[in-house]
Structure 1
Amino acid sequence: MIITTERLLYLWTIAETGSFSAAGRKLGLSAAAVQQAIQAFEHDLEAQLFERHSGKKPTLTLLGRQIYFQALDIIPRLEGIESHVRAVREGVEPQLRIALHGMTLFPRFQQALVAMQQRFPTVELVLLDSESAALSCDKVRLASQPGVQPADITLSLGRLRSDHSGHERIVDRILWSVVVAADHPLAKIRGDIALQDLHEYPQLFPLPGLSITPELSEGIRCSSKLIYYSAFYHLRVMLLAGLGFGFYPRQLAEPLIEQGQLKALHLEMDDGKLNWPIELCWIDGLGKAGQWFVDHLCGDS
């Protein structure tokens, strides 16, 4: 093969550094070795790649420029492949599958994901919905429920089963607020709201899933009129549209309340302490990126 990655690298480096000697220093070779490599390249192509004039920097010919622009696309890809292979050799997993629940995406968890991606840029990050994912070591759940996807790490609601063969830790808690749109009739009531007031309006209520079980969701049921949702974004959009009231993580509701889009209701029977734990679970044998993420969240909890 006439055009090899090594030859492209030499041409690219000369064009970037401006001389054979500078290219040699960058490549760890002598200037003579770089010149010989380019001369052999030109001989095989039967065409000149650089204009050479005594006392002046070598300049690319038309063909040299065309090959150089192709190299601009190829060389970074090759460097990326090398970085990826080097990272895997050093214990960084090529892919990390993390299952998240929309209600758990507090700012600190978002920041942890960003920090991990910046620290381990070669890792292919796959984000899953924790309502349809389980740890890859949870053979019972994966086998018994079709469509459940395997995950290396889950960050989910409630206290999940502890027989998943992985590790677990409570890393935070959802503090619940009952909220409605700012123009909803419930938002107009002054003072504390009684349970009978809530019975008159639909409640946005979660469908059962892997995280939110029927037993868990019954603890936040306050109306006989239910509008079921299966995804967290349904809850957010329908609340803002004024479709009903619902339980919403206080940590995520506060910005919407401050902006005047939602209003937190004060209930007679609510002491403001209702909360659900957020549980982090992970498999054995995580790579460096996954272990860093787990350690980071456990250290903050």
Structure 2
Amino acid sequence: MTEPGTPTFDQIRLFLAVVETGSFGAAGRKLNRAVSVVSYGVGNLEDQLQIRLFDRVGTRKPTLTREGAAILAEVRALDHGIDALKAKVRGLLQGLEAELSIAVDVMLPSGVLARVLEDFRASFPTVALRLNVEALGAVTAKVLDGSANFAINGPLTVGRERLEVLAAGAVPLVPVAAPQHPLARPGPLSAGAAREHVQLVLTDRSPLTEGQDYAVHSPRTWRLADLGAKHALLRQGIGWGNMPVPMVEEDLADGRLVRLVLPEYGGEIYPLHAIYRSDTPPGPAGAWLLDRFVSALA
């Protein structure tokens, strides 16, 4: 048994045109080719593959044979792959990035992140994306060491001399606890009551801001590197802590968490910034994505 030959791109396109239009004549009109050219090209493809693709006997229109139907998905995948290859090369020739690496602060609302990235996927289907979700100084570190093209960062305390910085809105933080927590009980709290209970604090995985505290009001702390874990512990009644409103608004509405009314602290605004290194500004796709984040958060 001899091995099947390798079809050409033109043969693949002719075959798919006949499948999609239902006839050699319609395929010719679609591709602006003579019917004889379409028929000849499909015939050559059948010879290459050593199988019959269409049943042309006893019917006014060609119908796929069992073998033709069996390979249709693979042929379409080849066609799609060639289109994707051409689109990527076209983008590279136009200066479009092949891949983007971005870092975002864990406080960035997930709804905003999802909407912006969905728009990006639709607008730049050939650009691969690497997403890093970090906290505090670890976000800045990704940009400074070049592992992220740009970032949506929280409070910026280091690296400003090497960075371009754009304001990108803010996220409100509020102190919360589970309804069974002592600080959530009805009635006014005395000043300093929060200091008597464990505060869950998001810690920094980066040496850039190691040792710096943000909105810590209790000497008794549990430090976590993951905001999702902090959220789960708060709902379990283990300590109190600050959380971004978009992440806990459903919990507050359903009573799974309670917003605390502390005499000395009522919450704060967590500023967000878009940052990139001054010596390596984003390319076309990166600049588009950065601008879309800033607009969505403004």
**What's the TM-score once normalised by structure 1's chain length?**
0.84
SS across alignment from 2:169? strand
Which among 181, 200, 203 is matched to residue 178 of structure 2?
181
Q: Tell me the distance in 2 between the aligned counterparts of 1:65 and 1:107.
A: 42
Q: Is 2:195 the counterpart of 1:199? A: yes
The 2-side partners of 1:89 and 1:137 are apart by: 26
In structure 1, the partner of 2:290 is 294
Match of 1:157 among 151, 154, 157: 154
- Structure 2 partner of 1:33: 37
- Alignment counterpart, residue 252 of structure 1, candidates 223, 247, 250: 247
TM alignment of 1:105-120, pairs within 5 A: 105=109, 107-120=111-124
Go from structure 1 to structure 2 and tell me whether the alpha carbon gap of 1:63 and 1:134 turns closer, same or farther (over 3 Å shift): same
* Structure 1 residues 211-290: aligned runs within 5 Å: 213=209, 216-217=212-213, 219-270=214-265, 272=267, 274-283=268-277, 284-290=280-286
Structure 2: state its 5+ residue gaps. none
- Do 1:92 and 1:287's aligned partners in 2 also have CA atoms closer than 8 Å? yes
Aligned to 1:145: none
Runs of 4+ in 1 over 6 A off after TM superposition: none
1:48-97 deviation line (CA, Å, top 9, x unaligned): 33222477001223333333343133322332333333333334322111
SS at 1:150 equivalent: coil
Find the aligned partners of 1:220 and 1:69 in 2 and give their Cα distance: 56
Distance of aligned partners of 1:239 and 1:112 in 2 relative to their CA distance in 1, 3 Å threshold: same
**203-212 vs 263-272, greater mean Cα deviation:** 203-212
Query: Residue 129 of structure 2 aligns with which residue?
Result: 125
Distance 1:105 1:261 in 2: 19
Q: Tell me, yes or no, if the aligned pair for 2:103 and 2:148 is still in contact at 8 Å.
A: yes
Q: Which amino acid aligns with 1:7?
A: Q
Normalising by the residue count of structure 2, what TM-score does the alignment of the two structures yield?
Answer: 0.85
Cα drift, residue 15 of structure 1: 1.5
Gaps of 5+ in 1: 143-148
CA–CA separation in structure 2 for the residues paired with 1:285 and 1:36: 52
Alignment equivalent of 1:84, drawn from 85, 88, 101? 88
Shift of the 216–120 alpha-carbon distance from structure 1 to 2, 3 Å rule, reads: same
CA-atom RMSD in angstroms: 2.7
Give deviations 1:82-120, integer Å, cap 9, x for gaps.
333333333432211111122122533442222222222
Bigger drift between 197-206 and 35-44 goes to 35-44
Range with greater deviation from structure 2 (289-298 or 1-10) = 1-10
2: distance between equivalents of 1:211 and 1:113? 29
Cα distance, 1:203 vs structure 2 = 0.7
Specify the code of the residue in structure 1 equivalent to 2:245: R
Identify if the C-alpha distance between structure 1 residues 89 and 296 changes in structure 2 by more than 3 Å, giving closer, same or farther: same
Q: Judging changes above 3 Å, is the alpha-carbon distance between structure 1 residues 44 and 114 closer, same or farther for their aligned structure 2 residues?
A: closer
Identity of aligned residues (%): 24
Among 166, 174, 194, the alignment partner of 1:169 is: 166
> Is the CA contact 1:240–1:261 (under 8 Å) kept in the aligned structure 2?
yes
Whole-Å Cα distance in 2 between the matches of residues 58 and 286 of structure 1? 51
Residue number among 190, 205, 217 corresponding to 1:209 in the alignment: 205
Matches of residues 136-147 of structure 1 in structure 2 within 5 Å? Answer: 138=144, 142=145
Aligned counterparts of 1:65 and 1:244: Cα–Cα separation in 2: 62
Q: Which residue of 1 aligns with 2:46?
A: 42
User: The residue matched to 2:120 in structure 1 has which SS?
Assistant: helix
> Is the alpha carbon distance of 1:45 and 1:137 closer, same or farther for their aligned partners in structure 2, counting shifts above 3 Å?
closer
Tell me the alpha carbon deviations over residues 222-254 of structure 1, each in whole angstroms, 9 at most, x when there is no partner: 212111101111211111111100011234332
User: How far apart are the structure 2 equivalents of 1:71 and 1:255?
Assistant: 47
